[in-house]
Structure 1
């Protein structure tokens, strides 16, 4: 087992190194070394300040990066505010009201503009902040290749159609990730981000009260867990849309593999979480991640680096926004 673990970690680290090398023509580790040497430090400082105030913001910042990259690529378009003539991504039902952490990005950008005007993109700030959030919650840190530029288009309709849903089954999840160049195993690995953070009751209440025509409650969910969730998310609560619960109750602020242990015990919160057991291959990957925390951490770091290069704008494409919420 030890030799297998060492071999697996070596393979993962080689893959991370290969991905970084492959990106050098476009994105580079240490991209701001000459133009804004304090860039990554300033972002980390703002993430740290936010984390001390509210540890839950770490999960929000990881999710912000994910939701940015899955719509138009990692171009900071999720940060743009709606206008009278356009409903932006952040106001899609897939993002509002659940997405958070915008103010952390705003604060980092303001500080960066004060020392390096027009240099650091909002898209890179989001990528740095996600990495810092993983590290601050106990996950494995990793180098972030940078050099992304910011997009000028943000449409709520694209967010609604592009983002995976908490009610997705395995085939839908696999297809959604494959459309962005990510493998099924990387999908299982990135699902581990649910080890931190919370979810609105409305994103899984159908599993408790209105599952399908033959079953009121999802039969795959652990019965004791279902009872607990019903107490936290009462069916007739007038405030159901605002109620939240931790996705991984045992350690909601720690990037560990308890999430996978919960899935194995039929305590996955969303249909998309429990769906990871619906094929022998993905169920085996869940079990491997549950048993090998350090291996999952390495795989997660590699998958985050790869996800962070989806559809990036580089060179003269896009722009460097002066304010992350508004195009120049």
Structure 2
């Protein structure tokens, strides 16, 4: 498409403010932000994440998911951690989060230790980002550049989740638009979908593919036949609570971070509709094949996309606050 077309110009004006926002955030954040104010931070993060993953192999995926759900909705300001109040219906109990997100107790444990050694210094927003990076690294993934110095938000919104969170049942076009609205792009969507190389999904998120795809009364014609049989046994078409049953997002290596997720898509064994849908578009299918062939390329691009995502909607300087407890906004001025 020629660069002077109306569509290109409209897209440029849509995403340009986010490039400016991310550039400004990047200038105020730095990897050594806590080196003097909280030198024990790396050790505390490492210990808590190691213990959590040793205790529960699913926790690495859960912490990565928590990071994504925080940043993609109103930015990386730890709003997803806030408990509901009488006056605020936040993100925790929103559809897409309430029975999906885990790991809050891990973040709370890290915060409690940090408040002992360096009180009201490290933001919950930075803890969420650091925890995800450490968790991915522990299960074989890359360790990416992560500038620090984020501040915590003062509120959270259930409505924001409904409007902004990508859906496993949505079209590629719909989810891409949500990424673009955050200053991310189609490549980021494909790369970050690779996070599904670890973890599980509840049957309710993909059951329609097994029994009633797009209201047809039949399964998704693109789903692998053997996989369909296995999943139907795991997720029967009943309203008896089996919708909460879990299936691995990556049948080849659900507890190891690698590029098998992309190989699965080529073999039509992607679990979620949004995952397998990446093979229906020529541009995203090409990226899937590239990452399936070259794990190092996937690791490099995943690191870059995680860093880019970590800059979305960041608060710095005197904005927001440093929460004393991650689930509650400070009552005082809460620097």
Q: Which runs of 5+ in 1 are unaligned?
A: 1-19
1:51-93 CA-to-partner distances (Å, cap 9, x unmatched) read 1001110000000000000111000000001123322101001
Superposed displacement of residue 142, structure 1: 1.6
Q: State the distance in 1 between where 2:134 and 2:125 align.
A: 14
Q: State the distance in 2 between where 1:239 and 1:298 align.
A: 40
24, 31, 34: which one aligns with 1:32:
34
Aligned residue number for residue 212 of structure 1: 214
Aligned residue number for residue 258 of structure 2: 256
Q: Which runs of 5+ in 2 are unaligned?
A: 1-21, 331-335
- SS of the residue corresponding to residue 50 of structure 1 reads helix
Aligned residue number for residue 201 of structure 2: 199
Superposed displacement of residue 211, structure 1: 1.1
Superposed displacement of residue 156, structure 1: 1.4
Aligned residue number for residue 88 of structure 1: 90
TM-score normalised per structure 1: 0.91
Superposed displacement of residue 129, structure 1: 0.3
Superposed displacement of residue 158, structure 1: 1.2
* Residue 316 of structure 1 pairs with residue 322 of structure 2: no
Q: State the distance in 2 between where 1:214 and 1:36 align.
A: 57
Superposed displacement of residue 212, structure 1: 2.5
Superposed displacement of residue 206, structure 1: 0.7
Do the aligned residues in 2 keep the contact of 1:196 with 1:251 (CA within 8 Å)? yes
1:82-124 CA-to-partner distances (Å, cap 9, x unmatched) read 1233221010011011100101100000000001001000000
Aligned residue number for residue 7 of structure 2: none
52, 64, 71: which one aligns with 1:50:
52
Superposed displacement of residue 23, structure 1: 5.3
RMSD value over aligned CA atoms? 1.4
The verdict on how the C-alpha distance between 1:223 and 1:238 changes in structure 2, with shifts beyond 3 A counting, is same
1:241-285 CA-to-partner distances (Å, cap 9, x unmatched) read 321111002111111111101111111111100110111111010
105, 109, 132: which one aligns with 2:107:
105
Aligned residue number for residue 275 of structure 2: 273
Aligned residue number for residue 62 of structure 1: 64
Superposed displacement of residue 237, structure 1: 5.3
Aligned residue number for residue 161 of structure 1: 163
Q: State the distance in 1 between where 2:189 and 2:164 align.
A: 15
Q: State the distance in 1 between where 2:101 and 2:162 align.
A: 13
1:188-240 CA-to-partner distances (Å, cap 9, x unmatched) read 01100000000000000011112124352111111111111101111115122
Do the aligned residues in 1 keep the contact of 2:154 with 2:329 (CA within 8 Å)? yes
Aligned residue number for residue 283 of structure 1: 285
Aligned residue number for residue 151 of structure 1: 153
* Residue 235 of structure 1 pairs with residue 237 of structure 2: yes
TM-score normalised per structure 2: 0.90
Do the aligned residues in 2 keep the contact of 1:211 with 1:218 (CA within 8 Å)? yes
Q: State the distance in 1 between where 2:41 and 2:24 align.
A: 23
Aligned residue number for residue 140 of structure 1: 142
Q: State the distance in 2 between where 1:161 and 1:204 align.
A: 20
- SS of the residue corresponding to residue 91 of structure 1 reads coil
Do the aligned residues in 2 keep the contact of 1:59 with 1:196 (CA within 8 Å)? yes
Superposed displacement of residue 288, structure 1: 0.3
Q: State the distance in 2 between where 1:23 and 1:236 align.
A: 48
275, 285, 306: which one aligns with 1:304:
306
1:289-319 CA-to-partner distances (Å, cap 9, x unmatched) read 0010111011101110000000000000000
Superposed displacement of residue 321, structure 1: 0.2
- SS of the residue corresponding to residue 27 of structure 2 reads coil
